[in-house]
Amino acid sequence: MKTVFKIYLFAACMMGFLNLAHGQSYDLSPVAQEKMEALAFLVGDWKGSGWMITPDQQRHTFEQIEKVEMQLSGTHLMIEGKGISNGKVIHNALAVISPKEESGQFAFNSFLQSGTSGSFKAELKGEVLYWYPTEQVRYVIQINESGQWHEIGEYNMGTEWFQFFEMTLDKVD
């Protein structure tokens, strides 16, 4: 009797699983795809260098690579970045950008090598992407006149922005 019950329980669980799997929607979101097309200028493999000012007010240089690709049928943008200085990885991050309902607004979900993560505001103004890890800090990403990824990081000093980060990357793919 126990064997029959186990078989019945297993079959019931499998039927429930199959119903859940079958009930998933595989429809694409043309609205999300259209919104994400505005960020297609970032897609590709990028390599270059940059600098940052650390809390001790020292300027440090680094080499950077970024791998950017559309995921989930063009409804999300995934960015994987790695910074190296003196042969050591100093920055390793993954970001997933997804559209919000508001025009030009995006969710910027960031995951760091340290295990920390966060969801931040991002917006597209023309062909310039801004993302804000805090209310006082912003990063600005654009393609410059030479076709390079140019990104700066700035801190709000109240009446003006103080630049603490800059990198310029060439497309390598």
Domain ranges of the chain: 30-171
Q: How confident is the model at residue 31 (pLDDT cuts 50, 70, 90)?
A: confident
Per CATH, is 30-171 categorized as 2.40.128.20?
A: yes
Mean pLDDT of the chain: 88
Check residue 2 and give its pLDDT: 60
pLDDT at 24: 58
| Residue/partner pairs of 115-124 with CB below 8 Å, 24 or more apart | 122/97, 124/38, 124/39
Average pLDDT over residues 117-127: 95
Helix (H) or strand (E) holding 5: helix 2-23
One-letter amino acid for residue 120 of the chain: F
